[in-house]
Structures are given as C-alpha cells and as structure tokens.
C-alpha cells in the first residue's frame, strides 16, 4: 500500500472489520441472489482483520510462519482473479474502472457511509452499462475492499480482464441459480436407494469442474478420488484431488471451502468443526449450515456448488489473543 493515500483510501481505511460486516449486512438485500452467498464468502476469504494484523506487524514474515499460511493469501497477487466465482466478475473491468475514477474524484463531506458509497458506484456502473444494479453491488463491494488491501496504484496497474470463457460468461443469473439448485437424478429406482446415492460437487462453476461423492460422504473424501487432472501441479497444497487436505480431522484448517449453493444439503456443523473454524479464523458463527465449511467434516446429502480458497492458515486464535491484550510474541507462542 502506498503512503500517498488519497482521500477516498483514507475514508476506506477508517473502517474496521465490524464496519465492513455491518455494511455487508445492509447491502445483502440489494445484492442479486446469484451473488449473495458469493459476496459473503469472498469477504471471508480476504478478511480485513488478517490483512491489518499482517500490515501492522513489525515482523509479518514471522507471523505468516506462525499462522502456517500456505497458498495465495495476498489480494495484491490476484487483483483480477480473486472474485472470479462471483457472477458480477463479468463486469469487473467496468466496476474496477468506476471505483478508480470515484477514488480520484472523491470529495469527502464527513457524512459518507460505506454502504451508500458502494451503492452509489454500483448505480453509476448500472447506468453506463444497463446491467441490473443488483448484479453490480456485490462486485463493487469487493472492488472497494480490494482497493483497501492493494492501494490505488496497484489496482490501476491491474489489467481488469474478465476471466470467464465466452460460453460460461453468457449464462444468465437465473440459469446459474437453476444449475446450483439441481440435484442428481438417481435413476428410475432412485427412490429405493439409500446409501448408494451419488451427488455431484461442483467446485468451479466457470469450468464445470466437479466430482461425485456417495450420500453422507464428506466432501474431501469425494474429492480425493478425483484424478482427472494433475491438481498438485496447479496448487501444490493439493496432495489428492482438487481440495487441499492434510489431517482430515479438523486439526489443520487446510480444507476450508465456501458453499455457493446447497449449504442446506450438507450435514450440520458438529462441535469440533464449529470450534476449529473459529480458531482457524475462517468464520465466527454458531450456524448449523454456514457458508464456510471444512471439507473433511461436511457430509453431503445432495448436490452442492463450492469454491476452494487459494490459501489456508491458522490465525483466528492468535489474533483473538492479541486483541485481548497479549503481545504478538506471547499470543503466537501458544501451541495449536
Ligand atoms: S484436512 Fe485438516 S482440517 Fe480438514
């Protein structure tokens, strides 16, 4: 992040995690259903709290090691691609340009509200592109947060390219939602089947990448049978199948996923998973069917669509200790 922040960057910088959460809650009713889960998942994948802790640390490299962070966790390294799973990614280039222009022309009056500013830019883009505003609010919120974490110069330097192929890019939001809602047929005697039912887990809607798993099987177990590609060559965390795994027992946090569609078709979060996701720092909720799950724990009872984050780490427990007043050194000297 540049030290020469402009007024807009300073305005955004004044918002902490709670402010972003509150703004997102206010915006959700205005985000099209196709991106309501995706936007919430994106904000869990790129948390401002983790970004700030690393940014403000005197020894970020040491913290990164303590948090056992693996993969691509820096937004600066994926400005154009981090949000490819949002439907609104299709409009990234227009939204990115509009946010950059807004950032330059911003004249603060001291009464700005984050959610209003996001809606204002989304409305501008909607008027220019004739795209429904509800399809632009989520991706505009993402662009605002990206600006916070990468700074205006880096954002401007990114190409703004849309990364979905033509066939998938032209799918309507309704079609995407219909595909997410579809369950696998089980044949004409499917109603007699019990344990041998099979379900599809789509893990990249833009390429139709998917694997099958048995009824009640955990998502990560199903993924392990998928040898259709050299997943390790694409992401070295993938030792078997497309979902990174290590422990398979809710201990390492490697296998977290976001659930774009079908969260209600996964088994309830059990005590161990519920406790560990908070300790990892991924999500802080007691919901039984949240949008963030550990793939080694979540059993499937139907077809689901997930998104695999490009990184994993174990930071929530340590950051909580730091917030409670422990020094960085003391909090990160605890054992997992
Ligand atoms: S593989 Fe370690 S938490 Fe799931």
Q: Domain holding 297: CATH number?
A: 3.10.20.30
Answer yes or no: do 63 and 148 share one domain: yes
Using pLDDT thresholds of 50, 70 and 90, give the confidence band for residue 326.
confident
To test the pocket of ligand 1, the residue of 219, 255, 282 to mutate (highest count of ligand atoms within 8 Å of its CB) is 255
Mean pLDDT of 291-295: 98
Is any atom of ligand 1 closer than 6 Å to the C-beta of 250?
yes
Residue 207: predicted pLDDT: 95
Cα–ligand 1 centroid distance for 64 (angstroms): 19
pLDDT at 194 over 70: no
Task: Tell me, yes or no, whether 324 lies in a domain.
Answer: no
Q: Which atom of ligand 1 is nearest to the CA of 256?
A: 4
Task: Tell me, yes or no, whether 328 lies in a domain.
Answer: no
Answer yes or no: do 161 and 221 share one domain: no
Answer yes or no: do 150 and 260 share one domain: no
Using pLDDT thresholds of 50, 70 and 90, give the confidence band for residue 5.
confident
Answer yes or no: do 157 and 24 share one domain: yes
Q: Which atom of ligand 1 is nearest to the CA of 246?
A: 1
- Token pair, residue 81, equals 């691609």
Answer yes or no: do 216 and 159 share one domain: no
Show the domain range for 140.
7-169
To test the pocket of ligand 1, the residue of 222, 224, 294, 298 to mutate (highest count of ligand atoms within 8 Å of its CB) is 294
pLDDT at 2 over 70: no
Cα–ligand 1 centroid distance for 216 (angstroms): 17
Residue 1: predicted pLDDT: 47
Answer yes or no: do 66 and 97 share one domain: yes
Is any atom of ligand 1 closer than 6 Å to the C-beta of 257?
no
Answer yes or no: do 116 and 67 share one domain: yes
Cα–ligand 1 centroid distance for 240 (angstroms): 13
Model confidence pLDDT, tens digit, residues 21-65: 999 999 999 999 999 999 999 999 999 999 999 999 999 999 999
Per the structure, the count of domains in the chain is 2
pTM beyond 0.85: yes
């Amino acid at each position: 992040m540049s030290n020469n922040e402009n007024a807009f960057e300073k305005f955004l910088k004044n918002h902490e995690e709670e402010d972003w959460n509150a703004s997102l809650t206010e915006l959700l009713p205005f985000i099209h259903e196709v991106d309501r889960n995706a936007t919430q998942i994106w904000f869990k994948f790129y948390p401002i709290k983790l970004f700030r802790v690393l940014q403000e640390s005197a020894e970020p490299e040491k913290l990164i090691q303590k948090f056992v962070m693996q993969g691509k966790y820096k937004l600066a390294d994926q400005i154009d691609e981090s949000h490819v799973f949002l439907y609104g990614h299709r409009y990234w280039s227009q939204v990115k340009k509009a946010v950059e222009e807004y950032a330059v022309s911003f004249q603060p009056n001291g009464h700005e509200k984050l959610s209003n500013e996001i809606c204002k830019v989304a409305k501008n883009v909607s008027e220019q592109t004739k795209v429904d505003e509800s399809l632009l609010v989520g991706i505009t919120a993402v662009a605002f947060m990206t600006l916070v974490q990468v700074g205006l110069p880096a954002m401007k330097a990114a190409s703004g390219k849309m990364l979905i192929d033509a066939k998938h890019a032209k799918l309507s939001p309704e079609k995407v939602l219909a595909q997410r809602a579809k369950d696998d047929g089980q044949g004409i005697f499917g109603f007699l089947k019990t344990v041998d039912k099979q379900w599809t887990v789509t893990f990249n809607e833009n390429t139709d990448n998917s694997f099958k798993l048995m009824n009640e099987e955990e998502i990560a177990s199903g993924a392990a049978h998928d040898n259709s590609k050299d997943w390790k060559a694409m992401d070295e965390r993938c030792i078997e199948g497309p979902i990174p795994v290590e422990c398979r027992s809710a201990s390492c946090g490697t296998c977290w996923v976001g659930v774009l569609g079908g969260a209600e078709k996964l088994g309830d979060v059990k005590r161990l998973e519920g406790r560990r996701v908070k300790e990892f720092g991924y999500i802080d909720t007691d919901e039984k069917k949240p949008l963030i799950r550990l793939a080694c724990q979540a059993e499937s009872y139907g077809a689901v669509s997930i998104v695999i984050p490009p990184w994993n780490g174990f930071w929530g427990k340590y950051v909580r200790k730091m917030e409670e007043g422990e020094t960085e050194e003391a909090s990160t000297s605890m054992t997992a």
